[in-house]
Structure 1
Amino acid sequence: MPKVLILGGTSDVGRALARRYAREGWSVALTARDPEAGAREAADLTVRSGRPADLHALDVLDERIEEAMRAALEPLPDTVLCVVGMLGDQARAESDPGHARQVLRANFEGPALALSIAAERFRVRGSGTIAAISSVAGERGRASNSFYGAAKAGLTAYLSGLRMRLSKDGIRVVTVKPGYIRTRMTSGFRLPPLLTATPDEVAAAVFLAAERRGSDIVYVKPIWRIIMLAIRCLPEWAFKRLSF
């Protein structure tokens, strides 16, 4: 039975992914920074799927992430999915370096360090798939989320480099750019329906790309590919005039 490890298993997208993979007959392991919340998710998944779900404690903000990640990789899964992230508060990050550090580490440094450990294990074995949630926010810096966008830009670049490095070893690396997602993290925002995906839609797109050999770069809502192409083509003087 194939096995998937989901980093960030208590998030809305993490839960949707766990249920999707379980329905497809996969064994599922979750990581959580909150052991109690993780235990509830693992128990719920066990009831739904009829198979026990493994749980590992892992916090990407912890300096000891390498030790926790190595433990979570035993036994070595077939696929590792990273859905860890933190939107943060832009205004707070501008005046609070500690909060800015959390946003940068949660969205880039922590995931990159964790995935680098999985990548090396996969390289030695000669097989495996890595997929991570990045963001369209990383394609061009915006005043309203410059720290979050910069971190996601770093993650996108890291995944691109990892994909190039591991392609000759038979390892797939998938970058997922959902756009807006209707989750607890965005519950206070007014989101445009046409541009907003549900966690189940994200899970379906990730499973298709990662396990059915889809695209290496996935826009869950295809319209985002067109929107971001237009935004990337804007000259800087014009882009500075925008207020989003």
Structure 2
Amino acid sequence: MQKVVIVGATSAIACEAAKCMAAQGAELFLVGRNPEKLETVAADLQVRGAQRVETFVLDVNDVARHQEMLDAAVAAFGWLDGLLIAHGTLGDQHKCELSVEETLREFQTNALSVIALLTLAANYFEQRGRGCIAVLSSVAGDRGRPSNYVYGAAKGAVSLFLQGLRARLARHGVAVVTIKPGLVDTPMTAHLRKGLLFSSARRVGRGVYRAMQQGRPVVYLPGYWRLVMLIIRLIPERVFQRLSL
């Protein structure tokens, strides 16, 4: 996989995945909203072996510019082999409960902007007849929990959308990879107390790279989260409502 677009390229997990790609001499098209951070990441990836690195400044909620971004990537590289969507926010659940505006803002960033971008990207890769689309969803989307159900609902929507997209594109030779990280030690989770289930961004980023290389349908990172979430999904609703999760 040599020509890859990474949306949310300055996020900790995306950076680690990009380092793996750079080490293999990939050409990377980095997309993010902070131009200074983008240039810093780009310079680092070039040192690490990336054959070519281009940047594109975009607020993902500016849906009207998604096609412009994809067109720019194709114009720069000639064609695309892969797309990694790794942007997102971990909003304040309590603020969302008190504000419709806050809830919709979180849903826009974590779900609707992703779905909008996937709609355009799917058409490109379907026509190309090959490639890999990978998206960072979350284990939070597997079951609604009182501590983060707005975030979880957005990620759940993305996971379900990807499931249908995977079935659509499989016949066209395009892999669609749903990546479900658990708790990861990143700036986004800096306010959370770290426990035994937390993993490093480096470990998860490498897992993202492997998942894209292999084209696996659904990947939990680290792998033990598959068992953790299976247990959580099997808890009866009456019992689940009494738990502090």
TM-score range, shorter chain: over 0.9
- Give the letter aligned to residue 206 of structure 2: A
Matched, 1:216 2:217: yes
If asked which structure has higher relative contact order (CA below 8 Å, sep 6+), I would say: 2
Aligned CA distance change for structure 1 residues 217 and 108 (closer, same or farther; 3 Å): same
In structure 1, stretches of 5+ residues that fail to align are none
Q: Following TM superposition, by how much is the alpha carbon of 1:44 offset from its aligned partner in structure 2, in angstroms? A: 2.4
Task: Tell me how far apart the structure 1 counterparts of residues 195 and 203 of structure 2 sit (CA, whole Å).
Answer: 16
Is the partner of 1:49 in helix, strand or coil? coil
Task: Tell me how far apart the structure 1 counterparts of residues 80 and 212 of structure 2 sit (CA, whole Å).
Answer: 14
Q: Which residue of structure 2 lines up, in the alignment, with residue 130 of structure 1?
A: 133
Q: Following TM superposition, by how much is the alpha carbon of 1:197 offset from its aligned partner in structure 2, in angstroms? A: 2.0
Q: Following TM superposition, by how much is the alpha carbon of 1:47 offset from its aligned partner in structure 2, in angstroms? A: 2.8
Q: Following TM superposition, by how much is the alpha carbon of 1:217 offset from its aligned partner in structure 2, in angstroms? A: 0.7
Q: Following TM superposition, by how much is the alpha carbon of 1:235 offset from its aligned partner in structure 2, in angstroms? A: 1.5
Q: Which residue of structure 1 lines up, in the alignment, with residue 108 of structure 2?
A: 105
Q: Which residue of structure 1 lines up, in the alignment, with residue 46 of structure 2?
A: 46
Q: Which residue of structure 1 lines up, in the alignment, with residue 241 of structure 2?
A: 240
| Runs of 4+ residues deviating >6 angstroms | none
Q: Which residue of structure 1 lines up, in the alignment, with residue 174 of structure 2?
A: 171
Task: Tell me how far apart the structure 2 counterparts of residues 73 and 29 of structure 1 sit (CA, whole Å).
Answer: 6
Task: Tell me how far apart the structure 1 counterparts of residues 69 and 234 of structure 2 sit (CA, whole Å).
Answer: 39
Q: Which residue of structure 2 lines up, in the alignment, with residue 59 of structure 1?
A: 59
Q: What is the CA RMSD across the aligned residues, in angstroms?
A: 1.6
Deviation larger for 106-115 or 149-158: 106-115
Paired residues, what number?
A: 242
In structure 2, stretches of 5+ residues that fail to align are none
Matched, 1:147 2:150: yes
TM-score (norm 1): 0.93
Matched, 1:8 2:22: no
Task: Tell me how far apart the structure 2 counterparts of residues 140 and 66 of structure 1 sit (CA, whole Å).
Answer: 30
Q: Which residue of structure 2 lines up, in the alignment, with residue 183 of structure 1?
A: 186
Q: Which residue of structure 2 lines up, in the alignment, with residue 90 of structure 1?
A: 93
Alignment map for 1:76-87 (pairs within 5 Å)? 76-87=79-90
- Give the letter aligned to residue 237 of structure 1: R
Q: Which residue of structure 1 lines up, in the alignment, with residue 204 of structure 2?
A: 202
Task: Tell me how far apart the structure 2 counterparts of residues 78 and 228 of structure 1 sit (CA, whole Å).
Answer: 31
- Give the letter aligned to residue 47 of structure 1: V
Task: Tell me how far apart the structure 2 counterparts of residues 80 and 62 of structure 1 sit (CA, whole Å).
Answer: 18
- Give the letter aligned to residue 110 of structure 1: S
Is the partner of 1:4 in helix, strand or coil? strand
Aligned CA distance change for structure 1 residues 170 and 159 (closer, same or farther; 3 Å): same
- Give the letter aligned to residue 37 of structure 1: K
Q: Following TM superposition, by how much is the alpha carbon of 1:72 offset from its aligned partner in structure 2, in angstroms? A: 4.3
Is the 8 Å Cα contact of residues 60 and 105 (structure 1) preserved in structure 2? no
Is the 8 Å Cα contact of residues 61 and 106 (structure 1) preserved in structure 2? yes
Is the partner of 2:179 in helix, strand or coil? strand
Q: Following TM superposition, by how much is the alpha carbon of 1:209 offset from its aligned partner in structure 2, in angstroms? A: 1.7
Task: Tell me how far apart the structure 2 counterparts of residues 112 and 96 of structure 1 sit (CA, whole Å).
Answer: 23
Task: Tell me how far apart the structure 1 counterparts of residues 235 and 48 of structure 2 sit (CA, whole Å).
Answer: 48
Q: Which residue of structure 2 lines up, in the alignment, with residue 120 of structure 1?
A: 123
Is the 8 Å Cα contact of residues 100 and 147 (structure 1) preserved in structure 2? yes
